[in-house]
Amino acid sequence: MPSLQQLHGDVTPGRDGWSRALVQLAAPAARTAARGPGWQPVTASNHDPGATWLELVARPLWGLAAHAAGGGRAEEQWHQIRAALTAAVDPAHPWYVGPPGDHDQRIVESAAIGYAIAAAGHELWDPLTGAERDNLAAWLLAASRARHVDNNWHFFPVLAAAGLQSAGVPVDTKLITGHLDRLEEFALPGGWYSDGPGMNGHPAPRDYYVPFGFHFYGLLLGNLGVLDAGRADRFRERAVTFAGQFRDWFAGDGAALPFGRSLAYRLGQGAFWGLLAATDTEALPWDEARGHAERHLAWWWRQPIAAEDGGLTVGYAYPNSGVVEQYVAAGSPYWGTKFFAALAAAPGHPFWSGQPAPPPARETVSVQPAAAMILARDAAGDVVALNGQHSPGWNARGRAAKYAKFAYSTLAGFSVPAGGPDLESGAFDSTLALSEDGIHWRARTGGETELDGDTLVIRWSPFPDVQVETRLSHVDGSHRRTHTIVTGRHLHTAEGGFCVPWLTRDLPDLPSVPGSARVTGGGMTSEITDEAGSRRAVIGEPMPGSHVLFPRTLLPALHAGLAPGEHTLTCVVSVRRDDPDSHRLQ
């Protein structure tokens, strides 16, 4: 598959370059959506064809509405989306997607439609006929009244109502206030949010739904003038506090930390930076926010994520439906057009008028208690996050791998199990996997986490009679893992470092150091060393397609058997660029 760079050339820095990039991204989606639901690409989604087509229709609106609000023109795309959307909400039309039901995916798209009416009514509402407006208003009202998932979804009826109010359509203000009050209950210290109430005393995941969900919607609603002053101020204050931590989730080359669900939304990871400009929220110096955003856009523009017609594929850093959740369809990645929120800001805004700041030039360690993470940036600008979060309670594909590994890396990414009980299918990078028979393996999914200074302490139990305490800390450009294991049964153990791309024909030789596995590929080196030198070093071959960044990988690992009793396993793990300056953007 081609990269966006191969199809369209480099992104020109600045507002005009962003505008062209947005239209280049949105055009294939709008063109395909306008042909009707029968022409949408086939994907392995658990949603019905009407819901998946509606994503293709509605999600480009996040970017196009901001673009139009800032004076941008995309006449062909707006014509195509208006035609598709008015058909989608018309009960008499063959393309009618049906009314939004309780917990229905259609509710999600009502937010993009509501925002587009509020921010760019001259493109989405004013050109409609009276009957078309009536159909759209009735459909949005139904979406706002349906029962919602108890998490960031509470924003969706509020955004739908914002659009309706801007068009003069009455809404149930008590219902809207109830949703906003519930969202307040998810706020955490440090500007973070829990994406729902959590389970068994544990907060729900803290991932990219905090910046591209909670902060994004909260600041937009405040900017649209639909919140009372106190609530709007709270959203702004939390965003300002959050920004100082979120910048540590981005590498010097613009790559974001791959972590959590919905990575298929890609560019959406960096939407927060442009949102600050759109809502005039100076959470960081404007040149720093612009620098994060420009590098992030350039990083994604270089990845092979486009189909031949320019449309976005399903996957992360390459087309791969096996690493994304079951709710992801062909239109889902266009949530990433949220990235272009800054186009709503005028050309003279300081986000645009200055020059983007260069990437951070120093090594840093950032302790983030609300996220249960400790992030370290190395001399090359790459970030490794030590992680104490746990697998969410609902069954998203690859949920434990996306939330419960010990470490995540902007350079080395992570793997998602590919099916089957064996180590190759499990792809246990950044994980300690345990087995009774050497065939069926278990890794951490939950447990209790606490911070001990600059060390994460995780207590977990993979079997009823096996208790593990894991301590994670950064040290000298690497990180140390110490596992104290009390087991009532014989165990096989396999502990993985970080994967690297496997680009050669043959397996590399193991180093001669006892208890150390090191492998090089794709301009990077990954190493895991047992401090006692007693575990067996191996190079594993995870199932192709199990990794979010690389189609084919190698994994350095340590293997050992344990008798019943108490044991301590300690290792040092690292991943680094072979050329520390290779990420610099000139």
Domains and CATH numbers, the chain: 4-353 (1.50.10), 364-577 (2.70.98.70)
**Can you name the residues that pair with 553 across neighbouring β-strands?**
501
Spans of the chain below 50 pLDDT = 583-586
Q: Are 547 and 413 in contact (CB under 8 A)?
A: yes
Structure confidence by residue, pLDDT tens digits, 72-100 = 999 999 999 999 999 999 999 999 999 99
3 state SS for 9-58: CCCCCCHHHHHHHHHHHHHHHHHHHCCCHHHCCCCCCCCCHHHHHHHHHH
Dihedral angle over CA of 215, 209, 159, 150, nearest 10? -120
Q: What per-residue confidence (pLDDT) applies to 199?
A: 78
Predicted confidence at residue 581, as pLDDT, reads 60
Q: 499: which residues sit within 8 A by CB, 6+ positions away?
A: 412, 413, 414, 415, 427, 429, 526, 542, 547, 550, 553, 554, 555
What are the distances in angstroms from CA 233 to CA 132, 210, 237, 276, 281? 36, 17, 6, 14, 11
β-pairing verdict for 373-377 and 364-368? antiparallel
Rounded Cα distance, 84 and 74, in Å: 16
491-496/553-562 β-pairing = antiparallel
Find, among 212, 191, 188, 194, the residue nearest to 263 by Cα. Answer: 212
Backbone dihedral region of 280: left (phi > 0), alpha (psi from -120 to 50 degrees) or beta? left
pLDDT of residue 582: 55
Bridge-based pairing of strands 441-442 and 448-452 is unpaired
